[in-house]
């Protein structure tokens, strides 16, 4: 949810530029705890409809609670399913997702199947990322660069591309869509209080239990707990490091009117 708060303006910008407007029906792939579905729900409003899909039923329960808390539960709903098993007689105005295609063994095949639930001329809009930059800080802040490399390496070792954002064009083409409009925005920071430190710290804490299984270890002197964010901030701020964060890619296209 912290990541979703940081990402919301980027995702919203991509979706609005893709043409998602009030009254549309939207299918959100990999809804997680609901942030993108709720964002799409804010755009389409009560005259529209959003269905979020995810295989994690517990996450979707949290997502449902949040729609109740935020007053959009009558037009934002969720379905627990693997994306490759989803089927419906409905036809949507838009198929969207954030940080979902990178996790699919064959992203183009998954996308090709799911756009069969999209109306002719409907919108396909995805937000993906590239966090593979090997030296994100300058002047180099060793501990920051090491933990960012470690996180990217965890993804590589489980078969997930940390630079998937760069493959959006090809993924759309392989799914039978036109080459999409693509924009990229790179987050840059390093100042005291930057969200980078708590964000990267939280990611390291979340992957730490998997490190030994993957043949990886925390850098010397790094402890994966709530103190990590302050350690990263202290080290980077002390030397005035400017930090290149992840690059956020938005890509969108329309399904052909006829095939």
Ligand X SMILES: C[S@@+](CC[C@H](N)C(=O)[O-])C[C@H]1O[C@@H](n2cnc3c(N)ncnc32)[C@H](O)[C@@H]1O
Give the containing element (helix H, strand E) for 128. strand 118-130
Tokens of 9: 């303006």
Residues 24, 51, 83, 207: which binds ligand X (CB under 6 A)? 83
Smallest distance from ligand X to CB 238, Å: 32
159 DSSP assignment = T
Question: Which one, 40 or 141, has the nearer CB to ligand X?
Answer: 40
Q: What angle do CA 88, 89, 90 make, to 5 degrees?
A: 90
Exposed/middle/buried for 140, CB within 10 Å: 0-12, 13-18, 19+? exposed
Task: Please report whether residue 36 would count as binding ligand X according to CB under 6 A.
Answer: yes
Residues 98, 161, 254, 255: which binds ligand X (CB under 6 A)? 98
Could you tell me which stretch among 30-38, 140-148, 175-183, 216-224 binds ligand X (CB under 6 A)?
A: 30-38
Smallest distance from ligand X to CB 101, Å: 9
Whole-number Å distance between alpha carbons of 170 and 254: 15
Smallest distance from ligand X to CB 256, Å: 25
Whole-number Å distance between alpha carbons of 36 and 49: 13
Task: Please report whether residue 100 would count as binding ligand X according to CB under 6 A.
Answer: yes
Tokens of 25: 């029906």
Task: Please report whether residue 60 would count as binding ligand X according to CB under 6 A.
Answer: no
Task: Please report whether residue 163 would count as binding ligand X according to CB under 6 A.
Answer: no
Instruction: Decide if 19 contacts 123 (C-beta within 8 A).
Output: yes
Residues 74, 82, 88, 116: which binds ligand X (CB under 6 A)? 82
Residues 15, 92, 99, 172: which binds ligand X (CB under 6 A)? 99
Task: Please report whether residue 128 would count as binding ligand X according to CB under 6 A.
Answer: no
């Amino acid at each position: 949810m912290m990541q979703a708060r940081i990402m919301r303006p980027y995702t919203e910008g991509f979706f609005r530029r893709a043409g998602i407007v009030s009254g549309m029906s939207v299918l959100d792939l990999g809804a997680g705890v609901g942030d993108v579905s709720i964002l799409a729900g804010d755009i389409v409003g009560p005259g529209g409809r959003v269905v979020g899909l995810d295989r994690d039923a517990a996450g979707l329960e949290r997502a449902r609670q949040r729609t109740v808390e935020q007053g959009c539960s009558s037009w934002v709903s969720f379905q627990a399913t693997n994306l490759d098993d989803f089927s419906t007689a409905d036809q949507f105005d838009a198929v969207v997702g954030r940080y979902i295609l990178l996790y699919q063994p064959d992203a183009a095949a998954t996308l090709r199947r799911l756009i069969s639930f999209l109306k002719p001329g409907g919108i396909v809009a995805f937000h993906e990322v590239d966090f593979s930059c090997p030296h994100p800080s300058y002047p180099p802040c060793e501990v920051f660069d090491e933990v960012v490399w470690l996180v990217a390496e965890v993804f590589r070792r489980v078969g997930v591309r940390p630079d998937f954002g760069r493959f959006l064009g090809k993924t759309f083409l392989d799914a039978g869509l036109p080459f999409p409009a693509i924009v990229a925005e790179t987050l840059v920071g390093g100042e005291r209080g930057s969200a980078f430190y708590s964000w990267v710290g939280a990611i390291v804490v979340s992957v730490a239990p998997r490190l030994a299984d993957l043949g990886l270890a925390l850098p010397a002197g790094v402890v994966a707990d709530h103190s990590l964010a302050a350690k990263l901030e202290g080290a980077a701020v002390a030397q005035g490091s400017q930090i290149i964060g992840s690059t956020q890619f938005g890509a969108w296209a329309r399904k052909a009117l006829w095939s």
